Structure formats: structure tokens, C-alpha cells
Structure 1
Amino acid sequence: MTLSESVHQALQYLAERPAWLEAALQPDTVLQALNSSLPEAVSGRFLLTGVTIPGLFLEDRSGRWKGVYHLSLEENGVEKVYPLRVTLTPPNIDLPVDVDSLPEQPFGSDGWSSYLPELRLYIEMEPPEQALDGLEQLLDPEAARSLIETSIRGNSPAYRDFTLRACEPQVLNYKPGSRCTIRYLLDYPPQLAGYGWPQAVVAKTYRTKKGERAFRGMQALWHSPLAEGDIVRISEPLAYDPGLRLLIQDQLPEDLTLEELLRSELSTNSSEPNGKLYNFVRKVAAGLAMLHRSGAHTEETVTFDERFEDVPDILARLAVAAPEIPPLFEPLANELKTRAAGIPPDPMVPSHGTFDADQVLISGEEIGFIDFDNFCMAEPSVDVSHFRASLVDSGMKLAGPETLADPEQLTAYLSRLNDLSEVFLEQYLTFTPVSRQRLALWEALDYLRDVLHYWKKPKPGAGTNAFIILENHLNKMGLDEA
């Protein structure tokens, strides 16, 4: 069996998730099981109206998937939503608790738990979320005004007179217990209106010290030619509060993201080689090349070997529940590892770290880059491969069932997406070099991780586009060539 045939066989197997895993991801199936098992639902005390399932996560080598489902119910005419912590145990693994001796507690009370045998789902009440440090202060307009004013004043002599009359907080994104992103509309005293200070700032609070890493990276970039903003704009880092783990930055203007433009043009079949989408992709290539040549530096590094370690780790987690999977992917993993060892890496450059189309803002004819949480020193292929992969992945999500079912249509559609990503690469290469062989390896690694996440992070209704993309890419690499 050739390596490409081996890969095809492995992908075919992985594309068919087992019935026990799929069942636990179906809202109607879970709702039916809860209706049959909860005494309060059986008695009619309350009416279960729906279950929202974001997905599951295989977080360790226990072989069990975990997640948080949201159960909606109606009680005495009042709608309520309860977050439920779930643990899915495969048939070949012992359950995490003795389900025959679960305490009988009213639904919603502390200590309540239940087991759905037909789904092998153990369910508990999700503990109350832990509020992020200082979140109440950040959402109070007056307290936030004082905090922002003091923080920005203390960060730079250019802002020593920085004074606010008021601010208006607007929550943009909130992940309970992890992070919160807030936009503040700023109001200055009349005598300071002409200072050119930001009209709005964005504050991000973190559970970990990741915000400090982002702030240091943004400072390095702000003290480089990238801050001039003639090719691409970046936010000015205004302050970092280590006590609150709070990063404050200038807000970039935004009409839409490149991801939104991509979806709009591909869904209407309006993208042309010299059209709006292609022109902005070329601008992104120029901006990324400038970032890579900026001379900024950080102590954080990312290498191929480090990133590759995700693959054996995921396979080891899957091996507990599905021991047949790792041997199917070992030939491909070994081949990528061998090829990487034989091709010298490009010199490290300052890199975004997780660069994709959703992190490119478009305002008029200008572009801006955001989200430098993973700023690092790495091969240029880290950013180039991730961005090219994001173009293809986003485009494939728009492919209809007819396109996916027809080999000729699928080939033509993939060719169109590959052409777009090639336009990006060709433009990038006019500014700075990158090894195409190393780039192909990084792209293969990105796609392989996406494929394995189909099991590691299963979501309801998730398609297998990543499988098509990976196999297409590996065929272009020439897996069976000596």
C-alpha cells in the first residue's frame, strides 16, 4: 500500500465518527433522554424546551469527552436556562462514577447529578462561573473611566495629560471565567478635544498572563516601522495592568473583516482575479511581509517540532477510546517528521502566531491586523501557512452539498480557492522569501491538526471539509515520490 493510499484509508475511517459519539452531539436525542430521566420532567413540573450543544472536548488521556450543555426549560410560565457539565464515556471505558449510587437531589440543586445510560452521559450542574478579576469595575462607567485614565497616563509620557470626562463600556465578547473584551467610547473635556487621542479603546482582560505577552509583543511592533501604518495598521498598546491582567489598546477602524468579505464574494460567486477580494488579499500579503521584516523581537518562540507535538498528543488521547486510530496516522506523521528534518527551516521572524482572515480588519481601502496574543518568533511559514489555510477552510465552508458530491465541481472549487491562496503567496514573495517546501510542511501540519480535531473537539453538524483539504494538499506535495 502506498502512503497516499494509507492516508486515504485513515481519513475514510476518521470521517465516520462512532454512533455513541454522534448521539451525544444531537440536541433532540439528548433532550429526549433528559425528558425520560428527569423526574421533574416526567411529572410535568417543568417542560424541557431545548438543549444547546456547543461541542465536546477530549481534554486529556482519560478517554472521556467533556463539555457544557445548556438546557432550556419552562417552569410556571418562566423560561430558564441551566448550564450542565457533561462527561461522555466510550463503551470500552469504565464510567467515572458509580451511577447506581447517585444521590437523589432535586434538579438544579447543589450536588444534583444524573446519568443517561442510552448516551453514556454523566451530567452535573455546572458550578457558578468565577468572575474575572475586576470585571465589575470594568463595567461600571465611572470606575472604568478612572482606571483607564490612570493606566494610560502612567504608560507613556505622550499621555501624561490624558483626562476623560466619561466613558461608555460596550461588551464585545465574554467567555466566562476566561476573558472579556470591552470597547469604551471616550468623552474628553472640551479643552482636550484637539489632542488627537483615541475616540475609543478596546480593553481585554485575561485569566492568565497571556495579555502581558500580547502587550509586550504589541509594544515591540509599535516601536518598529510597522507603526507608521502606511501598509498595514496595528493598534497602539496604551497600557497593561498586571493586577487585573488588563490590556488596553487603541481601536482600529473597521467596516468588515477579510473573513466577511471572503464569505460575501465567494457566496455570490463575484470574486475576480482583479476584484476587491483579490486586491485586499494582496494588501494582506504586503502587510504580513512588513510585519515579518519589522525587526521586532520577543523571547517567545515557536518551532515545527514544538507545534508537531500536538499530533502524537492528540493521537494518544484518542488511543484510549479508539486504539485503532493512531496506527492509521503513524505513517503520515512519520513522513512529515522525516521531511521536516531534511529541509532546513527559514530564519525566525516576528510573527503573529495564529494569523487568519478574521484577524484582518478592512476600513475603506486600508487594512489592520489585530489579536497579537500569540506573538512570537517563528519561521515565516507559521503565519503564511495559517493564513492560506484559513482562506481555503473558510471557502470550503461555503461549498454546497452539490459541489461536495460532484468530483468535477469539487475539483474546480478547490482550484479556485487554491488560486486565491497562491495570489497571496506570490504577492508575499515579492517582498520577502519563504521556503515553499517548509511552507508545504507547515500547511500539512495545520490541515492534519484540523482533521484530528474532528474527534478531539467534536461539534454538532461539523463537516469533513478538512479531510478533503488535507488529502488534496498531500497529493500536491507528492507523498509517494521518493
Structure 2
Amino acid sequence: MSVASLEVGGSQSDQQGSLERFAELPGWLVAIVQPTTVRAALARAIPAFGALQQCEVARVRMKKDRRTALYRLTLAGPDGAQRRLQIQGTLLPPGAPEPPDAGSELAPGEEGWRRYVPELRLLLETLPEEAALPALEPLTDPAQAAAILERALRALPQYRGLAVQTCAPRVVRQKPGSRCTILYDLTYRDGSAGPTPVVAKAYKGGKGKNAHAAMRALWESPLRASGSVAIAEPLGYLPELNTALQGPVREEQMLKDLIRAAMRTGAPDLRAELSSAMRKTAAGIAALHRSGAQYGKPHNWADALDDVQDTVGQLGAVFPQLQAAVAPLLARLEALAEAHLPDPLAPSHGSFRPAQVLLAGGDVAFIDFDSFCQAEPAFDLALFLSAVKNIGLSEPHEEESSEDDDALDPQAREALLEQLDLICEEFLAEYERHAPVSRERVALWETLELLDLVLTCWTKIKPVRLGNTLAMLERHLRAGGLPG
């Protein structure tokens, strides 16, 4: 997709190289996400960790100017048994005063324990296990879950009088203390026909309510009968458990897995399968945008720009050179947004990426409507396009802080990006066959999303993926003559 039409004022040569300041994370920052480095430093600094067998970097977060990492440790006990604990490390940037080792007389894992590791500039503290979601116990107990599901189903006219006979719950995805997805295989008394499996999505906050209301609005819209895309039947919302219930959708694989397989192998049959899936996905999201579903708060360009500027400000507190480097690009994007007016707001997925697209038997289905909103179509499309490129350059892994990717050779990366550009163009051209969209606004939103991916590599400390995301952004900017 070309962004040449976004050339509005300014000089590309004046800005050439400004983003190069983002190219390399400082060593003192990278060290805290390297398991081997952390494990060795802990063993040297803290005698109790001399028996440390494994160190897993589970999560990295930045809030304001504070960076924290969650470590899951495995230690060998004197009797050969393994002991597991998790600790939190807070990174102190160079120049910050070193804290005292208050609590060092306690054992790791005990409440109040803390130690400072100067080698890593890392303050370690015991972190208790995150509390499980209150909904988890009743929703995973077969008897309690059967009663809960039966009440919810009977509240629907089409399932009134339905009685659950057997209920087999299975947790299929969980982020402790935050969200959990449970799959139920159900049978019904007297051979009655009812939905199975049923999916329950429990949340810490109010996202479940938003997802259910969005799915209900879509289910009652023309999208349901469009034939372009499938969505799960909304079966109810349980406010006391912050849980949304929904029917099944067929799944053989996720679109993100097909993208990786096709790009990594280059197999002609997989490329053809991917081409077909991308066209069907484009038709599906166009149908969603034109469904007229009347639900969701408005989300606009100013909201997204504010979020990115907030992240830049947090990074700037520690790395002022980064804030200075990106300021001309942000100012230019503001000017371009004023020069190219948005399309009208439409029902929008809000987190539309290949991981939210399921494939089965040549059909597509969309899932995860937690962030459903009203936005210009370019928002969903740009998020999807940038994610396609990011996935195409990445190795598969589950942990968000994983750095298992191998750094790509620059020439190999450019070759992959050239192919990914063609795939994205095919998607966008197919979308335009079903619905109009401003190409200029798509390019504008994609620039912002790619920049956000670069910033995320700094906030979550992802050195390998930084090279990929920066290459994507620079290539995108070169294509349109924007400052690079």
C-alpha cells in the first residue's frame, strides 16, 4: 500500500535519520529481560539464589518512568525438590540513588523481602501470587457451572425449558487475575438440542459487558445473515461474575498462524490459501463496518494520538533524545490528519488483528469484541495491516515478553516486507470492492500504529523485535515521502 498521497509540506531530507535514535536499546535496559544474564547476576549477588535452576521473564511493564519485570524462578532444594517463586524487579535508571537492602534478613519469597542487585540496577521484592478471578471457582466446578449455564440459557426465548444434563468445563486460556476463557461441553436432558460447546469469558473489569453488548448488537444486525463472516451467538452476560457467555464458532486455525506458515515456508499452496483467507477477511470486516450495529463509544484519531504522545512523554522522562527524535513526525501527522478528513464513524472491532480471525472450511469468523467501538474504518484496517506485517516477521510464541525471535538479515527482512506489502495491498483492494475507504486515512493510521509498535519495543524491552518494527515504520514512511 502506497502512502505517497500523504506528502504534505515539509522536507524528508530534513528528518532523515531522526528515527535512528530508536534503533538500539541501551545495554542496561536489555540486561533485565535476558534470562541467562539475570540468572547469573542473581546467583552472584544473593547467596540464596546459588541453587537457581531457571529464570523466566514473564512480564515487563512501564508506568510513568518506572519499569518493572516479573520473574518466575525455580530453585533446587536441599532434598532435590524444586521450589518455585515469583519476584518483581524494579529497574533504576542510571543516576538514580541506590536503595537500601531493607528486608534482606528475610528469605526470598517471604513477605517484605527485598534485595538490590547493583549489577543490574534492579530492586527485587517478593510478589505474591495474583488473586484468582472470583468467577473462576464457580465457573470451573461442573455442578455449579451447570446450574449457572442452565439459568442463563433459560433466560433466552429459544432455550426456555432447556435442562443441562452433563457439564464438562475446560480452561483454554487464562491470564491470572485478569481474564479467563472456559470451554464447556454440554449435553441436555431428554435429548434436547442446545448450544455446545458454550464459551465463558470472565474478566477482571467491565470488558465482558462491552463484548456481550457488542455481540448482541452485531447478532441483531444484517451482519448475521450476510454470509461474509461468522460470529458467536451471544448467550448472556453474568454481571455478578463479570462473565460473557457465547455459543461456538468453528475453528481449524487462526489467520495469524497461516500468515506465519505461509511466510516462513513460502509454500505455493499456503500462499494461495493465505490469499483466499485475506480476501474473505476483507469482505468480512467490510460487512461489519456496514452492519449499522448501534453500539460502542466513539474512538477517533485524537484519542489514539494522545495515547501515543503519552507513551512518548513517559519514555522522554528517561530518554529525552527519543522524545526529540519523534516530535517532528508527530507534528507532521497532526498536520496530515487535518488535511485529510476522516470517513464517517462506523461499527468497529477495535482490536482487529489476525489473532481475532478464525478459519475453518474456507469460512472466516471474528472473535474478541472487548474493544468494540464506533470509529472510522481506517482504524480497524490500519491495525490489521500493521499486525499482518509484524506477524509475518515474527516467530510464534505465547509469552508477550518472549525474545525467542532470531534477528533477521536486513536483506531477508526487506524481501519479506515486500511480499507482505503485496498481501496487504490485496486485502485493502478487496475491502474497497465492498466498501469505500480513504486510503490516505488508512496510511495515516498505519503510520501511528507502526510507531506505537516501535515504542512498545522500548516500553516492554524487546530488542529483537525492535529491528523489525523500526524497519516496517521506515519502509512505510519512505513509500509516502513522510519524514523517516
TM range (shorter): over 0.9
For residue 475 of structure 2, the aligned residue among 447, 472, 475 is 472
Q: Shift in Å at residue 110 of structure 1? A: 1.4
Deviations, residues 295-351 of structure 1 (Å, cap 9, x unaligned): 101141110110111221111111221122101110001000110012111001100
For residue 381 of structure 1, the aligned residue among 364, 378, 382 is 378
Contact 2:275–2:423 (CA under 8 A) maintained in structure 1: yes
Q: Shift in Å at residue 103 of structure 1? A: 4.4
Contact 1:233–1:367 (CA under 8 A) maintained in structure 2: yes
Deviations, residues 104-133 of structure 1 (Å, cap 9, x unaligned): 112221111111011010111112321211
- Secondary structure of the corresponding residue to residue 54 of structure 1: strand
Cα distance in structure 2, aligned partners of 1:253 and 1:229: 17
Equivalent position amino acid for 2:67 in 1: W
Q: Shift in Å at residue 52 of structure 1? A: 0.4
- When the two chains are superposed, the root-mean-square deviation of aligned CA atoms in Å is 2.1
Percent identity, aligned pairs only, is 37
Cα distance in structure 2, aligned partners of 1:385 and 1:271: 27
Matching of residues 320-359 of structure 1 within 5 Å: 320-359=317-356
Q: Which residue in 1 is equivalent to 2:118?
A: 117
- Secondary structure of the corresponding residue to residue 68 of structure 1: strand
Q: More deviation in 447-456 or 32-41?
A: 32-41
1:480–1:136: structure 2 CA closer, same or farther, 3 Å change rule? closer
Contact 1:3–1:332 (CA under 8 A) maintained in structure 2: no
Q: Which residue in 2 is equivalent to 1:264?
A: 261
1:401–1:455: structure 2 CA closer, same or farther, 3 Å change rule? closer
Equivalent position amino acid for 2:71 in 1: Y
Cα distance in structure 2, aligned partners of 1:132 and 1:77: 33
Q: Which residue in 2 is equivalent to 1:396?
A: 393
Contact 1:444–1:473 (CA under 8 A) maintained in structure 2: yes
Cα distance in structure 2, aligned partners of 1:394 and 1:128: 31
For residue 50 of structure 1, the aligned residue among 51, 54, 79 is 54
Q: Shift in Å at residue 66 of structure 1? A: 0.9
1:5–1:142: structure 2 CA closer, same or farther, 3 Å change rule? farther
1:153–1:23: structure 2 CA closer, same or farther, 3 Å change rule? same
1:80–1:271: structure 2 CA closer, same or farther, 3 Å change rule? farther
Q: Shift in Å at residue 134 of structure 1? A: 2.3
Cα distance in structure 2, aligned partners of 1:321 and 1:410: 30
Q: Which residue in 2 is equivalent to 1:161?
A: 161
Q: Which residue in 1 is equivalent to 2:235?
A: 238
Q: Which residue in 2 is equivalent to 1:178?
A: 178
Question: Which ranges in structure 2 are unaligned for 5 or more consecutive residues?
Answer: 1-9, 397-404
Q: Shift in Å at residue 191 of structure 1? A: 3.1
For residue 12 of structure 1, the aligned residue among 6, 9, 20 is 20
Q: Is the counterpart of residue 150 in structure 1 residue 151 in structure 2?
A: yes
Cα distance in structure 1, aligned partners of 2:234 and 2:270: 36
1:462–1:73: structure 2 CA closer, same or farther, 3 Å change rule? farther
Q: More deviation in 296-305 or 389-398?
A: 389-398
- Secondary structure of the corresponding residue to residue 468 of structure 1: helix
Q: Shift in Å at residue 190 of structure 1? A: 3.5
Equivalent position amino acid for 1:422 in 2: E
Deviations, residues 343-396 of structure 1 (Å, cap 9, x unaligned): 111001100011011111111111100000000000001111111112111112
Matching of residues 73-92 of structure 1 within 5 Å: 73-75=75-77, 76-92=79-95
1:266–1:311: structure 2 CA closer, same or farther, 3 Å change rule? same
Cα distance in structure 2, aligned partners of 1:140 and 1:5: 64
Cα distance in structure 2, aligned partners of 1:424 and 1:395: 15
Q: Which residue in 2 is equivalent to 1:443?
A: 446
Contact 1:272–1:278 (CA under 8 A) maintained in structure 2: no
Cα distance in structure 2, aligned partners of 1:48 and 1:403: 32
Equivalent position amino acid for 1:23 in 2: A
Q: Which residue in 1 is equivalent to 2:66?
A: 64
Residue-pair matches, total? 466
1:263–1:367: structure 2 CA closer, same or farther, 3 Å change rule? same
Q: Shift in Å at residue 224 of structure 1? A: 0.7
- Secondary structure of the corresponding residue to residue 318 of structure 1: helix
Cα distance in structure 2, aligned partners of 1:89 and 1:53: 17
Equivalent position amino acid for 2:109 in 1: G
Cα distance in structure 2, aligned partners of 1:235 and 1:38: 52
- Normalized against structure 2, the TM-score is what? 0.92
Question: Which ranges in structure 1 are unaligned for 5 or more consecutive residues?
Answer: none
Deviations, residues 163-190 of structure 1 (Å, cap 9, x unaligned): 1101111111111111111111111123
Deviations, residues 180-209 of structure 1 (Å, cap 9, x unaligned): 1111111112331xx3x2220110111101
Deviations, residues 34-66 of structure 1 (Å, cap 9, x unaligned): 112223245xxxx21011013421122xx2201
Q: Which residue in 1 is equivalent to 2:252?
A: 255
Cα distance in structure 1, aligned partners of 2:440 and 2:214: 28
1:30–1:280: structure 2 CA closer, same or farther, 3 Å change rule? same
1:309–1:429: structure 2 CA closer, same or farther, 3 Å change rule? same
Contact 2:87–2:109 (CA under 8 A) maintained in structure 1: no
Q: Shift in Å at residue 153 of structure 1? A: 1.5
Q: Shift in Å at residue 398 of structure 1? A: 5.7
Contact 1:385–1:443 (CA under 8 A) maintained in structure 2: yes
Deviations, residues 115-157 of structure 1 (Å, cap 9, x unaligned): 1011010111112321211211111111111111112222x21
Cα distance in structure 2, aligned partners of 1:50 and 1:401: 21
Contact 1:257–1:359 (CA under 8 A) maintained in structure 2: yes
